[in-house]
Structure 1
């Protein structure tokens, strides 16, 4: 097989996008959806593997800034739309694209690479570790009650057009981004508009997208975007509220929005979508068993430059540890690194000192945002303690007060 890996050209779009659609099931998307993707794709960071006249592999990288523990916004390459034609599997197409993509991320000065995996087993061999999880739930609002704080009563709710309110909602979202690891700053207005994309063909019987604003003394303190799927039987109505986004600046605003969603007429449940594993609603409900929670993997992360990545975040406790890192796919990371840091900052440099912990870059990526404990990975045999006491100290230091979460698809 002779293939060529090249940067995506505008004239390749139709064939390139068609390859993606075929790889993800072959169901055509509405023209509006295709046009949205074309506006989002950074052509200079998208790749096509070509075999003669045919595009047989695709991938794209988005330029993001990812919040890490401590609040810094760290440049990260966001990998997406990875596909290989079924006719060209196991012929090195994927490996070639992943090699080029990570080399390009490194050349761009981005110390991190991230992705949302359609098939998680694929990406471990390229050094990506599961860094965040999310909770999905079906809340039985006919039986579950919410115990909201008194501050919720001082919040005014009102309807808003999703497009007309987008700028205000995005300003609120931007205020929240530095506060939780894993959150992604919107790279452009197009990414903001992506949050309210609502093609009629994708609704599957649901209403158009609704938006409700939460205000206090005229200031926006929260918002929720959702749809309603009506359903009736002989017992009466039991529609579903499908929650897309809910962001709030304080507990009262968040609780007021949850109370509103739970009380929408002619509905009996809320489908939450992916929420943080420490989301406040989990502690507002009267009966968590009737919320049908499901834990799901979310963001996968790998350090592209170990030293720069570890120095970019802060640490929950003082740490001084030598890490023996193995990285088969990006060998420039392999070796011993001394990490010294605390809540004010950190340095991470190569060292010849004896190692305290041994791990691969995949484990480092999993623990990086503080959502996966190094001690848990050690329990699975994936981190080895070489100096007694080093594991507990490092595991505590890598932790995060708020669970990392990514409310941003790509």
Structure 2
């Protein structure tokens, strides 16, 4: 059944470009150039937490991580088909020592080379190769904006090399990973789109492979119980794809996550595996990105939450608020305890204003702890949660342990009223 989900309320959305600068998450400079934002410490902390999450999720799902160069010879992209189908969106070649190199627009050709570096057996399949890697798009300045449309992209990318019989299950598993990631990030998808070839488009490969790929993606969507729309003309040049669409504060829609089936590049790169009977076969290449580009994912999280990030993603998770200078040494000692537990914590300076003003300044932190003479003497913490709850004094070590355990669950609720066990 193909239906369109209800449009979500836009009143809860925020412009990430404004908030990104107000909260000192990222910025740009004309000397660097349009579409090339730099990350400030708070934004870098969010990005690092997101990257840790996705790498851990991929490891648990059987992916093997690699690193590959951001440059490649022009010939590499001629083989992959990017040069003939995508060169208008690539930066011009660089002449080096009589050879032409280009900044890659995609990671898949490098991963195809990693696959073919040695002979492969059917017993190795599905082989899941993942990378958080840089790629570059020569976007026109008029379409650039904030983190959603940039020229230097850090992509959460992966390629699954598998048999034809394994494709639908691998695509379904990727969709399940996307769903879990969105739940952890608090991201709401606008819709799922089955992007197919359209009339007049410039596509690689034959009609039969396109039909098979579309059927496999349809099976994965229906097995996952997801409503979706068919969108002719939105496919990649090498194959159809599932696009998970999100909307920004202005209602503009963009693709965040994708699952794609590709018969074309395995053929172009001559990829093979040895089957049970000893014959050689061509693998299928499933492209998938769980959170898309780090830039666009962070932009979406900013817009969904207005800077009040899920606790596990917050730039600063706990702010210690000493009442006066007398409690500052105790706050400094507790800060070390917090850091030992892996928390992103800070101790406020009592000279920076009244307690009320400091608490308001740190209002986006999931947790704050006021340290007065009583708490310092007893070794307790009096916690204030971002949702307005105030908790009675707890032994400092227990409070810190419970916060760390709660954040590890990535639950939207900031406190466990039970035992606190993760």
For the criterion TM > 0.5, the same-fold answer is no
Query: 1 or 2 for the larger relative contact order (CA 8 Å, sep ≥6)?
Result: 1
TM-score, with structure 1 as normaliser = 0.29
Q: More strand by proportion, 1 or 2? A: 1
Q: More helix by proportion, 1 or 2? A: 2
